[in-house]
Amino acid sequence: MLTLILLVLAVIGLLIVMRREAGALPALAVTGVTGLIGIFAGAPVIGVLLLIATAGIAACGLPGVRSAWLTPRLFAMFKKVAPKVSDTERTALEAGSVAWDGELFSGRPDWNRLLAFRDDGLSDEERAFVDHQCGVAAGMCNAWTSPASGPTCPRSSGIISSANVSSA
């Protein structure tokens, strides 16, 4: 019966804290106090569980604890499972919607920032692809057959797909 009373008190207390949007400290107080009451009043299992919940709330809800303890561990774990970003992908991510497009379509672009944007151009491999394979593929298509064959010209699709251009 004591376990049920402690659970009801903890849930009601947490609902009040959430309703008032009071933050992590009052939630810590509710779970910590009910956990200690549970330990000292004869319900050690529920008391320990509530204290574990208190530790979880502290790790996730307190910015200092979260940034010092939880975030580095989660980031290290994510870094192990996330695929590596190549130089080309990094350039695309930095130059895409965040840097150039994001500034341009923000509604009030900072033209000085846009003019200061550094363009490294194409790599030698990318330049060779654009100059050779794309030119050959474009020469195989004409305005008469392209609309009839769909988005890619059948004769040129083999050249584009067989081009050995890496994304790195």
pLDDT at 164 over 60: no
Q: What mean pLDDT is predicted for residues 53-72?
A: 92
Q: Which amino acid is at 136?
A: V
pLDDT tens digits, residue range 86-138? Answer: 888 887 777 655 666 777 777 788 888 888 877 778 888 888 888 888 878 77
Res 168 pLDDT > 50: no
Co-location of 17 and 58 in the same domain: yes
- What pLDDT is stored for residue 52 in this prediction? 96
Based on the domain organization, do 33 and 94 belong to the same domain? no
- The model carries a pTM of 0.48
In this prediction, residues 3-11 reach a mean pLDDT of 91
- Boundary (domain end) residue, out of 81, 109, 132: 81
Question: What's residue 47's pLDDT?
Answer: 94
Alpha carbon distance 160, 136 (integer Å): 9
Domain co-membership, 142 together with 89 = no
Same domain, yes or no: 89 and 156: no
Domain count, the chain: 3
Across the range 79-84, mean pLDDT stands at 88
Q: Is residue 24 part of a domain?
A: yes
> In which domain, by residue range, is 66 found?
2-81
Report whether 53 contacts 24 (CB < 8 A): no
Residue 123, SS3 per DSSP: coil
In this structure, are 102 and 130 located in the same domain? no
Are 22 and 68 in a shared domain?
yes
